[in-house]
Amino acid sequence: MATRGTRKKAARKPYHHGDLRRALLDASLALIAEEGFAALSLREVARRAGVTHAAPYRHFADKEALLTAVAEEGFRAMTTGMKERMAPEKTPEGRLEACGVAYVLFAMEHPSHFRVMFGPHFTRPPELSAAGEAANSFGLLLGSISEGQRAGVVRAGEPRGLALTCWSLVHGLASLLVDGKLASAGITTVRQAESVAREQTRLLVRGLGRATSD
């Protein structure tokens, strides 16, 4: 007859090599979505993943390391989404619009990632790899601005400053959507968010157009 200890051990979900890290990331994202950052701890993540309290330390030194991994994953996914949406576009303006829409859609489809990526959760130096991933996505936007300037369809000016203007708009829109602040306006679904994102980024790109005095 099995003892209580052996029954508990048998009930614990077995993990093959490489599965534990994924399980911990998924548990973290679910916990953030359901209860917010205040509830996040390595102990609670381990409990949700069905592993011992010590198991997360095989992959993450502390909670901040876990959040860094979540942020890295999010930035990689966001950058991939931007590239995929921008690729079919034939004009600099089209690629700029696609870049902004992809940003907003990523936030709507991955709200827990989005909150970690841009939340005040990291105290480590800027060389942490999540910062590098962020630079990759910002680099796509910056490159699109520069391309538009070379083609004569984006106004003259320091590209980074124009890129920051674009980022501010799409990030603000994404944050409002993720936090449900536009629900009163009837914008609650991904499809509705995409429509609004298209409209707003189109207006933004028009505003970036080359001024007659340039």
Longest dimension (CA), the chain: 87
Q: What pLDDT band is residue 194 in, cutting at 50, 70 and 90?
A: very high
Domains contained in the chain, number? 2
Residues near 56 by Cβ (< 8 Å), separated by ≥ 6?
A: 24, 42, 45, 46, 49, 66
* Residues 35 and 93 reside in one and the same domain: no
Tell me what pLDDT residue 200 has. Answer: 96
Mean of pLDDT values over 154-164: 94
Tell me what pLDDT residue 135 has. Answer: 74
Q: Which two tokens stand for residue 80?
A: 């991939």
Residue 185 has pLDDT above 80, yes or no: yes
Q: Do 205 and 145 form a contact (C-beta atoms < 8 A)? A: no
pTM: 0.85
Domain residue limits at 168: 62-207
Q: What pLDDT band is residue 19 in, cutting at 50, 70 and 90?
A: confident
Tell me what pLDDT residue 18 has. Answer: 58
* Residues 166 and 145 reside in one and the same domain: yes
Q: Do 204 and 103 form a contact (C-beta atoms < 8 A)? A: no
* Residues 140 and 53 reside in one and the same domain: no
* Residues 114 and 168 reside in one and the same domain: yes
Distance CA 1, CA 3 (A): 6
Mean of pLDDT values over 99-112: 97
Tell me what pLDDT residue 211 has. Answer: 57
Q: Which two tokens stand for residue 24?
A: 């911990």
Residue 124 has pLDDT above 90, yes or no: no
Q: Is 172 within a domain?
A: yes
Q: What is the pLDDT of residues 37-91, one digit of tens each?
A: 889 999 999 999 999 999 999 999 999 999 999 998 999 999 999 999 999 999 9
Give me the CATH number covering residue 36.
Answer: 1.10.10.60
* Residues 55 and 136 reside in one and the same domain: no
